[in-house]
Each structure stands twice: as structure tokens, then as C-alpha cells.
Amino acid sequence: MPYATKIVLHCPTGYHVALDQLVEQFITDGVKFVGVVGHDCERVEEIIDELVVGDGSDPRRFLLTSSHPGESVAEVVEFARLLSSEYLGDAQVVELAV
């Protein structure tokens, strides 16, 4: 089953190598937004951005990202819900498991 258009990525322990493959699946599934919450979420967001851009040769690889230090998963779900235009739809919460 493909991922939703909007993802709230909960990272209770910060970055994990599984993120690399997860981001590739997000792109394959047409995810447009990833909001990151949890431990070291700003760093995780930066890594997602680097993974998406890669060497810059494919302009179709794009994800809108945001990080939410000090916020709860529920707060970030609400933030994602408020995104409009091409970002309409419900947010799916995904936990980056160790």
C-alpha cells in the first residue's frame, strides 16, 4: 500500500539508516510533504533534503519538508492538515523505527 501524500515522520531516536530507503519509497509513492518530529528532527530533515536532491540531475525529485523541534506528533499532524493547494489531504504518521 503506497504512502499518503503527506507524511508526519516521527523519529523518537533520531536518524537511522532505514531513513534512506524510506525516503526513496516516499518519492516512488508520490509523497509531497514530510514533516519531521522527534529527537534531532532538524538533522533528520536536512538528511531527507540531501537524499531527495541527490546529485541534482533529476528536477522531478522534490519533497516539501519541515522540522518541528519541541512539538508533539499531534501538533505536526495539525500543521500538515493546514497545508493547502497541491498539499491537500490527510497526513499519515510514520515512525522511523530502529
Q: Which residues contact 41 (CB under 8 A, 6 or more apart)?
A: 11, 67, 68, 69
Which residue, among 8, 2, 3, 1, has the nearest Cα to 81 in the 3D structure? 8
Domain ranges, ordered by start, for the chain: 1-32+40-67
pTM of the model: 0.95
* pLDDT per residue rounded down to tens, the chain (98 residues): 899 999 999 999 999 999 999 999 999 999 999 999 999 999 999 999 999 998 889 888 999 999 999 999 999 999 999 999 999 989 999 999 87
